Structure 1
Amino acid sequence: MTTTTHELTATSLLRFATAGSVDDGKSTLVGRLLHDSKSVLADQLEAVEHASRRRGQDAPDLALLTDGLRAEREQGITIDVAYRYFATTRRRFILADTPGHVQYTRNMVTGASTAELAVVLVDARNGVVEQTRRHAAVAALLRVPHVVLAVNKMDLVDYAEDVFARIADEFTGYAASLGVTDIIAIPISALAGDNVVEPSAHMDWYPGPTLLEHLETVPVGSDPSDEPARFPVQYVIRPQTAEHPDYRGYAGQLASGVLRTGDPVTVLPSGHTTTVAGIDVLGVETDIAWAPQSITVRLTDDIDISRGDLIAAGPTPVPTKDIEATVCHLNERALKAGDKVLLKHTTRTVRALVKDVAYQLDIDTLEQHTGATELNVNEIGRITLRTAEPLALDAYADNRRTGSFLLIDPADGSTLTAGMVGEAFDGALTAPAAQEEDWV
């Protein structure tokens, strides 16, 4: 059986996130994108028109298509991450519309964590502001592969080319300093619809694509055959039926790479080696599977494997109990050295101890405040952890799935912190060594 690269790569689906300062018109942009791409149902548009009339507006307020919470509608701001699903003839999309307020940085981290592209919106009248730099830094921190700078409200600056060029140059230079290399700037007017779905008649000096055209054509997804296979075991299947008395399969979602029947694999953290005896997809046997398919794997050897183990092919990480990571704290309760937490990595959850808060990162200046003793909500910093059991972790820069984790409050199960293993911005940030602890 032969499988082409095109068949292995998920190019038909783009996950992207939007971010922008308050009142930059982000929700209007998303609404315009949905409306002009014919992705809004008639009853949704009717509800928006009715709500707009009640607010004294003559034309439909397209921002209401994304600001779905009552509090958002009343305040006129985006609070929560709003996910929208739409499609064109060329591609399917999952859009995460994230808040612009500084106090909702954690929401942007949530929305952009799985995104392959980030749309950063700026007001053409204000240019690059502090929150713009913050959003660029978060996108770089989360290793979002593609970034679009959407310079909005060009109609309010008379569609001036020099205004757009100045903003584009400033943002591109800053983002490049963070390690972001794939950047495109697009001048738009979300309110008027210029360069969102249809080309603008007012900006003939701009030769590039509209926003939707770029979203439809930007390369997404890497070739799974170029990545080491990582398969976190979610469930062990033992049907014990007369038809299959000896069946033992390991079910889960292939996090990265490609698995084939006959591939040599290593089970982590135990380190036992074996080979893939068979692969089942939706109950049908196949000889190949690729990320992010949900599959069941059968192995040639009878090895003690349970939920949370990692079946890996290719270069394998060395299991460790000591973790250095960049984290974004999500909870109102501060994270401090000495805190006892649960660490969830793929399908494995273990006890862990926060050994040290190395520094708190000023996301606007990238300055490291080494005197920090804790991380408060929305703050990003560097910590060291010690786990009770070894974990097979990849660097986040190499694998966003197996290089990330969550810290959980063992008392009530609430999520505390999102973590990324390894360095933050292309190895520029480092953490000092921590002291050993006895708790784990």
Structure 2
Amino acid sequence: MDKNNERNFRRHRKSCRLHWTVCCLSLLLFSACTTDTNLPDAEQADRLPLSLQMELPKQLTVVVTRAGEGKATTGNPTRNGIEIKKVRVMQFDQTTPDDDTYNIRKTYSKETTGTTTDWFTQTDGGLITINTSTTTFWNRTSKFYIIANAKELHSTSSGDGTDISETAKEAVLPTAYFTFPESDVTGTEEPGILAYGPVAYTEKTGTGSGNAKPVAIFARLKRAYAKVTVNYTAGTGVSITALRVENIPTRIYPFPATGNSPTDAFMNVDLTVNAGQTTYSFFMPENLRGNGTSTTAKEKNQPDNGPTQSGSARNLDYCTCIVLTGTYNYYPNNTPENAANPISVEYRFYPGADMIRNYDIERGKHYTLTLDLKGANSADARVTITDGNVFTIADPDDVTHKDDIVFGE
């Protein structure tokens, strides 16, 4: 090997040794950092603080945002017409089953009168961070559930809801409910009962000198109820005198089981009909009844075409129904003898994802039912004439439903 090649070989070998030394030192430093970072110490290994951020649902009806509804500076956080007054977080330990169910391990609950803002912070975009203070949860494999604005949790003996106590089991949640009074149906403000979960958490293991990292939950809250709007056009000679909604569930289930809704506790609500008003809206709990067998809108009102419920024969027993009653004058512009004696008529409509087969009212959706009341056709099952004459509505009638909630994690 000549002298030039020998010098180059020595320089290359020296450079390789230097790079190897730097790599080893870097690896040792990196290992030291990762050993002491993101791991709770021995005293805090069992406890975890909670970092909770909440996003309120979008509006069910697109309107201009009201003034002062951005970042809350006084009172409670408000966004899209929903005010957050109460928040509850429940942690169910998944590591210690008891009779195939899991016990509640820890809860956080905050209820405010609206006179202070020290329990939350809110960004201009509406994202709400809950100040859970010193409340800590357990570092156990578990599931978290969040409920906002749920009415006071009553014992079952009071008949107002399910008691989700400090000793409750996770298995109670699919059937846990809150009473939904008629005042919430006909109220102008949203009920605001929101829910999110379950959120799965996996236990973290290891010890170190750092603080316990909080369990962070970003809860995209979802409505536990639906909104229905009825628009109608009364043709010549038609007068609507009453509007009733039948088969509204009286219970809200924040975390329902899959499948059809229960078949208990329903109510009928009369809406106030005002002169000149042709649009009416109301809120109601979810009512999942399924699909029927009709092939036209006129057949949807026939019980034999209704959904099969709880294994029984097809019927319309628990399906939500919009009922309009009024009169029709055959001779509104003339003066025959019977012009002063209009016939009485009742129209019945079963809203759903469509106006032919589906009878579901799903949570978080806004259903808009548009009706054109005119014509004469005695073959329409949606119309009942109470004094022997004939009356019908014009086709088509239409229903739309809109889901304005952001789903997903």
Point out which structure has higher relative CO (alpha carbons under 8 A, 6+ apart). 2
Greater Rg by CA = 2
Q: Given the two structures, how large is their TM-score scaled by the length of structure 1?
A: 0.21
Q: Given the two structures, how large is their TM-score scaled by the length of structure 2?
A: 0.22
| Bigger share in helix | 1
